[in-house]
Amino acid sequence: MMNGWQLSRLPLSAKVFCTLFLVGIGCGALAAFVQASTAVGLSPTAVEASLAREMPMTQMQMHHGQMSGEKEITLGEISSAAKVWIRTPLLIQTSHTHLFGQTLIAGLLGLIFLFASVRESIKTLIVALPFVGTLLDIGGMWLTRFVSPSLSVLVIAGGTLFALGYALITVIALYDLWLRKERLA
Amino acid sequence: MKIPCRLLAAALVSLCLVAPARAHITPPVVLVSDRDAVVSLLAGARRFFVREVRLTAAEKQAIRQQTGWTPEDDFYRFYIGRDDQGRVVAATVFLTEFTIHGPVRVAVALGPDGKVKGATVVELTEETYPWVKPLLDRNFTREYVGRDARGTFAVSAGGGESMAQFYGQVVASLIQRAAALYETGVIKRGDAA
């Protein structure tokens, strides 16, 4: 409850609005799931393969000052996967669109959730999840590329936090909107 | 507020469904894998090598003067195909241009003389694909076969479609850059044999 406002007391039009918004975001998340699985992959290893900087295959890897190197390879060493390799300019594009987009989604989810009938401490925790998840998600991409490939786990963790926040907000909000019984004073 | 167990279970199921969904990236369209592009462009090769080249400041400057493009990558990788006698059949390099609509990536094969032997668009985006497809359908990169870095790399989209013209020129420029890279980073160093 916030200043006497509760989801359960909203007029029907507002309840329908909130419900359809939450459902729509859920559908978008499922579409993003499919997109991520096909374009990048859903494991830290797959994220690392798409985001980490390209390393030399030759002895240049060991001798940074070396100007050239050559070695024989088999065709099996060349990537056969039609996977996206995200280079820095694409990372910049992705960051700017997704930071705006995900933050707006997190903001609208949070706005609905502010009127849920949940203890303030729990509300504070849950409402922060999509925001923190977004920052971890996008920040993890940059850290994977420029600090350590092993930090690709942050991208998965960020996505999981965002999804956890969405799931909790949606379930609690839908319960409040349609199932919560008003307590008579 | 007390949340019923069934609702918590539903939340967890939803979580399992959407948890990894945020690891998403707007996907470019990958038309062909790197391996398939190399196999196709180095047809006739029996052995395959990787040659990686770091350019000096002077080499970068030479390429910039030749093409108007400054190479910025830490190193460039050429896939080199050789015959049974160890002679170079061709070398393939992948180059990317990042446009406002996303990346355009091209694989270019170059002969030991530095002339273009073939080129394949390997990756672009959903937005650019419809613009480039008419050019791909008429295999427009064939027009550049036999040209070296000093050749003309203009494109004619057939009139009317300005975006096709624009992206055709992006691809043509990438082919020229590849030729300049090979000439400067491999041939002029005496490493083409």
Q: What is the pLDDT of residues A75-120, one digit of tens each?
A: 888 877 666 677 787 788 889 889 999 999 999 999 999 999 999 9
The answer to whether position A36 is within a domain reads yes
A171 at the B interface (CB within 8 A)?
Answer: yes
Count: domains in chain A = 1
Size of interface A-B (CB pairs under 8 A): 181
Structure confidence at residue B25 (pLDDT) = 44
The model's pLDDT over B35-45, given as tens digits with 9 standing for 90+, comes to: 999 999 999 99
A89 neighbourhood in chain B, CB within 8 Å? 98, 103
Question: How far is the C-alpha of A167 from the C-alpha of B19, rounded, in Å?
Answer: 9
The model's pLDDT over A137-149, given as tens digits with 9 standing for 90+, comes to: 999 999 999 999 9
Q: Is the pLDDT of residue B21 over 90?
A: no
B125 at the A interface (CB within 8 A)?
Answer: no
Q: Is B152 exposed, middle or buried (0-12, 13-18, 19+ CB in 10 A)?
A: exposed
The answer to whether position A129 is within a domain reads yes
Q: Contact A69/B103, CB-based, under 8 Å?
A: no
Rg over alpha carbons for chain A, rounded to the nearest Å, is: 22
Structure confidence at residue B11 (pLDDT) = 56
Partner residue facing A75 (CB), from B8, B27, B39: B39
Taking CA atoms, what residue in B is nearest to A175?
B7
The answer to whether position A133 is within a domain reads yes
Average pLDDT, chain B: 86
Mean pLDDT, residues B150-174: 84
User: Chain A window 119-148: which residues touch B at a Cβ cutoff of 8 Å?
Assistant: 119, 122, 133-134, 137
The answer to whether position A66 is within a domain reads no
Q: Is the pLDDT of residue A40 over 60?
A: yes
A50 neighbourhood in chain B, CB within 8 Å? 25
| Confidence band of B23 (pLDDT split at 50, 70, 90) | very low
DSSP state of B23: S
Domain extent at residue A118? 11-53+76-178
Which residues are CB-neighbours of A14 under 8 A, at least 6 positions away?
none
Question: How far is the C-alpha of B120 from the C-alpha of A20, rounded, in Å?
Answer: 45
Which of B25, B54, B79, B182 to mutate: most A Cβ within 10 Å?
A: B25
Q: Contact A50/B25, CB-based, under 8 Å?
A: yes
Structure confidence at residue A132 (pLDDT) = 97
Residues B114, B68, B56, A148: is their CA dihedral positive or negative?
negative
Q: What is the ipTM of this complex?
A: 0.73
| Confidence band of B144 (pLDDT split at 50, 70, 90) | very high
The nearest CA of chain B is from the CA of A103 a distance in Å of 12
Structure confidence at residue A61 (pLDDT) = 62
Question: How far is the C-alpha of A101 from the C-alpha of B25, rounded, in Å?
Answer: 13
**If we measure between CA atoms, which residue out of B97, B94, B101 comes closest to residue B78?**
B94
As beta bridge partners, residue B88 has B82
To the question of pTM greater than 0.80 for the whole model, the response is no
B77 at the A interface (CB within 8 A)?
Answer: yes
Q: Is the pLDDT of residue A8 over 60?
A: yes
Q: Is the pLDDT of residue B186 over 70?
A: yes
The model's pLDDT over A12-32, given as tens digits with 9 standing for 90+, comes to: 999 999 999 999 999 998 888
Q: Contact A167/B14, CB-based, under 8 Å?
A: yes
Residues B34, B36, B39, B43: is their CA dihedral positive or negative?
negative
B123 neighbourhood in chain A, CB within 8 Å? 84
Rg over alpha carbons for chain B, rounded to the nearest Å, is: 22
Q: Is the pLDDT of residue B159 over 50?
A: yes
Q: What separation in angstroms does the CA of B47 have from each of A97, B41, B88, B97, B98? A: 44, 13, 9, 29, 32
